[in-house]
Structure 1
């Protein structure tokens, strides 16, 4: 019965998320009316006006639902200015941009987790004074703006090329070749700093708990206690912070796509801001990860205490 109840709650939340995303994407239709031409005035166009129009809003929501039920028929305008260019099918083109953006984000997240865990384990063997200094430095680095990190990485690559005539990686994405390495490194920097700090703080919290003290008093070696039990609890805490990290990386990804000329999903959505395309793009970024997080919450154990 518990499994059925949890599944029903998951399905209800899923439906509410889908409806909420569609309702938000259609909000412009609630406040903004379409521009009209008046024949009596020689075809003069009346600009859009702001006022509540619930009928238009409901019609737009129904249209988006209908489009989502028939995704194969969805199209997008290749060029908004040139009217004679025919529309193209949204699928599978949007999936290419989606995979491109998702690849950079997932690899950057994995790199951040690995680097943060490695540095935290290494720092744990330093003295308390050095650990305290590192934490203060991480607090400062965490405040760095996204644009500062992006431009700094790009300037470093340009500086290396200027002085050595060696191009370590492609600094910008082109039509012929996509860039991965530099955006992944740039996107992973701030999450690595954040996870590094959180992991260090979690290490200190776990070490001071009774089960760790009891295990050390029993004669277990600190190395065994650290990697067998403390590390597992710390990694579980990283998972429970993964949602906030994901949305943090998603906001940074918007800056990255424009800075590195990456034609990913986010740039595609900004270029084609129709309610149907915005809704399906946000659903692609939200629903798969929501389902994965919910399943992992059922599968993964809670905090593990040591057994001696």
Structure 2
């Protein structure tokens, strides 16, 4: 029901209620009392022999009172009308305020929906490459503004590079990298060059592989909690499986440890090969 229709019905109900309240006869009162008084008045006037109006006024003062008294039943109706108009005006004002309040409450969900912050990247179907890629070579990666991440041994977009976490892992261990496994004990890559990303591949200790997996998981959770983008290497499920089985379980699973029994020296080193990652939401 619309607001105007509610106001009209309320107005009519108020008039009816107040009229019935004031015009109904009170308990014990004869509802035909006024009609009987009128009949007695007219009968007394017919029996009079005087024809002078002034004398009638003099001889019958009660007749004037009864004539005036006969109009009293209209007073409750007038009062009822005035009271009904007053009540209707007050209620109409209150109903108007109530309607405005209801409209405001109904509009709040829509307002919240329109003012809510957008989803990361502003996309409903993330592609994982909203911030671009790092090309296919060291030269191209640098020209695209990418940064080399030694703990991933990969080029990352600035939006997917966690400088604080990288520094935390680089300073937690004394790292050494080599151009190949054969000359590992005699030839070492300069630190400033491998940190800069000058090499496509390198050899390092097995510790790097263990730290790399721990670093990747911490990077994933840090980005997830702060709703930041991630690189496609960390988001790759196969990479997680690799870290959780071939790396962490190698020393406890006999099947996974078999290659180390055949080549003990091989399980002490790891080979890195550079990646050029994409960056986006998930």
TM-score, normalised relative to structure 2 = 0.27
Between structures 1 and 2, the one with greater helix share = 1
| Rg comparison, structure with higher value | 2
Between structures 1 and 2, the one with greater strand share = 2
